[in-house]
């Protein structure tokens, strides 16, 4: 197996070496955008110019097969007809607002399972101080796996998928800070690239049998959660446009094809990784701030109790969550300070110059890379009062951030935790629901406190594939005596 991976790596490097050195040199130029006004000018006023990913950056290169076929996902694919087909399928089949309400039973089940897991840990006497990241990840990933493969997915398969996705995300995170897309960087990081190729092989070996199982007619008899079509089913039914070199993405004919197996694996990996990683990171950051500010935690808990009392049977639904403005404010403030991803890359192509920030920058023949530093944009002192303070009240009625949502509108950008414009994250609404369901359950059932009276939470950020806590949150968790 190691010999095969070495051969694959050498072949891949040979393919990369055949690419022009001019492209590598052009990709070394990186322009950073760190303020809200500049982000608005680029992503809203010049949205079409900033709708692509850099063509030579690492994730796209890794997604290129040995025969030159691209097996990209929604994140990496070129803006055009293929991208629209993939994104429209995801939005219509899995993420349409009309379908989000039907997720509530699965979200409640997953959040209750997490509560039961933490409760059993406390009852077993394993200590009140808990490092909850892995347990939260297991619960969230289990939910996302059901949405991807349906209710019938085996628990052992879910655990195996969770581990391989976690390993892949960690390896991607290790590469992200140092990888600039140049040939020199690819050669210097050949060991890390080799590990990632190995992870891709593991993903293929694990995911393909599960995907093929959904091809059987009997697998289609039941849909996840009694009404939510598994994401894999929609991919198997999808037909995408044949390759077209037209930069506009318009098709000269109506030729369509099925997705290849490698494309299916890539899209499934994207759904599982992005759908779980962003939610887990956001939950941990939010809990960390609630540990730091017990008064905010108590105010949030009281809102949850009041809403449950006014609900028949005390059952939380998506409608109930919409009636919790403070919960929404807490989540939004956490996303402002700690967006799920540290930065967003865009590739600008075409002749002449492009507006990057306040200046016009010449666009090289092979394109220009622009990095939007999402965390800095959310803490822009020109836009926010005391931007480094966790203050949920700013998102309540009358606050400076009243009416601001997780994805910015066309008039301004003040924060962009899920991106902006054409290429914003299509799963932002679902992610917000996941975060709120789990957070409401965790705060209602447990008190989260610092592990020691003289110990504060280490809020140091680690920018990898996701923006995570460098030191996983350690908290003293106490089961609450319920008022209901």
Angle at 29 between CA 26 and CA 32, to 5 degrees: 145
For residue 32, the model assigns a pLDDT of: 86
Q: Is 307 helix (H, G, I), strand (E, B) or coil?
A: helix
Contacts (Cβ under 8 Å, ≥6 apart) of 217:
none
Buried b / exposed e across 461-473, counting CB within 10 Å, b at 16+?
eebbbbbbbeeeb
Scan for tokens 């195996």, then name that residue.
160
For residue 117, the model assigns a pLDDT of: 94
For residue 2, the model assigns a pLDDT of: 47
DSSP string, 60-115: HHHTB-TTS-B---TTTSPTTHHHHHHHHHHIIIII-HHHHGGGHHHHHHHHHHHH
Report d(CA 390, CA 302) in Å as an integer: 19
Contacts (Cβ under 8 Å, ≥6 apart) of 12:
66, 193, 197
Report d(CA 174, CA 2) in Å as an integer: 22
| 143 inside domain | yes
Closest residue by Cα to residue 71 from 246, 235, 278: 235
For residue 476, the model assigns a pLDDT of: 93
| 190 inside domain | yes
Report d(CA 267, CA 208) in Å as an integer: 12
Q: Identify whether the C-beta of residue 476 lies closer than 8 Å to the C-beta of residue 449.
A: yes
For residue 55, the model assigns a pLDDT of: 58
Scan for tokens 């003293």, then name that residue.
476
Residues in the chain predicted with pLDDT less than 50, given as ranges, are 1-28, 58-61, 65-66, 177-179, 224-225, 245-249, 251-252, 484
Q: Identify whether the C-beta of residue 209 lies closer than 8 Å to the C-beta of residue 264.
A: no
Contacts (Cβ under 8 Å, ≥6 apart) of 414:
36, 378, 380, 383, 384, 401, 404, 408
Report d(CA 142, CA 136) in Å as an integer: 10
Do strands 30-33 and 129-131 pair parallel, antiparallel, or not at all (unpaired)? unpaired
| 299 inside domain | yes
For residue 299, the model assigns a pLDDT of: 97
For residue 59, the model assigns a pLDDT of: 46
For residue 360, the model assigns a pLDDT of: 55
CA distances, 272 to each of 22, 23, 151, 305 (Å): 36, 32, 15, 32
What is the pTM (predicted TM-score) of this model? 0.86
For residue 50, the model assigns a pLDDT of: 83
Q: How many domains does the chain have?
A: 1
Q: Identify whether the C-beta of residue 269 lies closer than 8 Å to the C-beta of residue 203.
A: yes
Bridge partner list, 256: 241
Do strands 359-362 and 461-463 pair parallel, antiparallel, or not at all (unpaired)? unpaired
Question: 185 is in which domain, residue-wise?
Answer: 2-479
For residue 452, the model assigns a pLDDT of: 83
- Backbone dihedral angles phi then psi of residue 314, each to the nearest 5 degrees: 65, 25
Report d(CA 25, CA 366) in Å as an integer: 9
Whichever domain contains 337, its CATH number is 1.10.630.10
| 453 inside domain | yes
Q: Is 52 helix (H, G, I), strand (E, B) or coil?
A: strand
Torsion of CA 265, 339, 181, 264, to 10 degrees: 10
For residue 265, the model assigns a pLDDT of: 93
| 484 inside domain | no
Report d(CA 428, CA 403) in Å as an integer: 16
Report d(CA 361, CA 32) in Å as an integer: 12
355: its two tokens? 């507006």
Closest residue by Cα to residue 426 from 54, 159, 23, 75: 75
């Amino acid at each position: 197996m190691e010999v095969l991976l070495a051969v694959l790596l050498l072949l891949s490097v040979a393919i990369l070496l055949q690419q022009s050195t001019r492209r590598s040199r052009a990709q070394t130029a990186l322009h950073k955008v760190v303020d809200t006004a500049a982000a608005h000018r680029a992503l809203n006023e010049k949205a079409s110019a900033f709708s692509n990913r850099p063509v030579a950056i690492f994730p796209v290169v890794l997604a290129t097969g040995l025969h030159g076929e691209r097996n990209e996902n929604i994140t990496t694919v070129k803006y055009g007809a293929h991208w629209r087909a993939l994104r429209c399928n995801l939005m219509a089949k899995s993420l349409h607002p009309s379908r989000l309400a039907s997720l509530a039973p699965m979200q409640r089940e997953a959040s209750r399972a997490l509560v039961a897991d933490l409760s059993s840990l406390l009852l077993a006497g394993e200590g009140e101080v808990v490092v909850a990241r892995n347990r939260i990840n297991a619960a969230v990933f289990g939910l996302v796996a059901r949405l991807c493969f349906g209710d019938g997915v085996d628990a052992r398969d879910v655990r195996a998928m969770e581990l391989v996705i976690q390993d892949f995300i960690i390896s991607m995170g290790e590469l992200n800070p140092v990888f600039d897309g140049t040939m020199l960087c690819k050669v210097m990081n050949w060991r890390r690239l080799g590990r990632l190729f190995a992870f891709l092989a593991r993903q293929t070996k694990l995911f393909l049998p599960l995907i093929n199982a959904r091809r059987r007619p009997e697998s289609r008899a039941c849909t996840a959660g009694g009404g939510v079509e598994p994401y894999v089913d929609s991919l198997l039914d999808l037909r995408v446009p044949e390759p077209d070199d037209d930069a506009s993405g318009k098709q000269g004919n109506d030729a369509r094809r099925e997705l290849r197996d490698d494309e299916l694996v890539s899209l499934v990996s994207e759904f599982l990784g992005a759908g779980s990683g962003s939610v887990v990171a956001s939950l941990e950051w939010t809990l960390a701030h609630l540990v730091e500010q017990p008064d905010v935690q108590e105010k949030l808990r009281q809102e949850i109790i009041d809403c449950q009392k006014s609900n028949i049977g005390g059952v939380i639904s998506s409608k109930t969550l919409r009636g919790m403005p403070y919960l929404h404010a807490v989540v939004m403030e956490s996303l402002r300070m700690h967006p799920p991803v540290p930065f967003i890359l865009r590739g600008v192509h075409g002749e002449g110059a492009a507006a990057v920030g306040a200046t016009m920058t010449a666009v090289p023949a092979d394109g220009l890379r622009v990095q939007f530093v999402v965390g800095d944009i959310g803490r822009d002192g020109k836009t926010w009062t005391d931007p480094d303070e966790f203050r949920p009240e700013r998102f309540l009625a009358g606050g400076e951030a009243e009416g601001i949502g997780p994805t910015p509108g066309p008039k301004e950008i003040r924060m962009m935790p899920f991106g902006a414009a054409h290429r914003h994250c299509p799963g932002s609404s679902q992610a917000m629901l996941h975060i709120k369901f789990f957070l409401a359950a965790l705060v209602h059932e447990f008190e989260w406190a610092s592990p020691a009276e003289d110990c504060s939470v280490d809020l140091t950020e680690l920018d990898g594939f996701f923006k995570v806590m460098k030191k996983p949150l350690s908290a003293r968790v106490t089961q609450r005596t319920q008022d209901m």
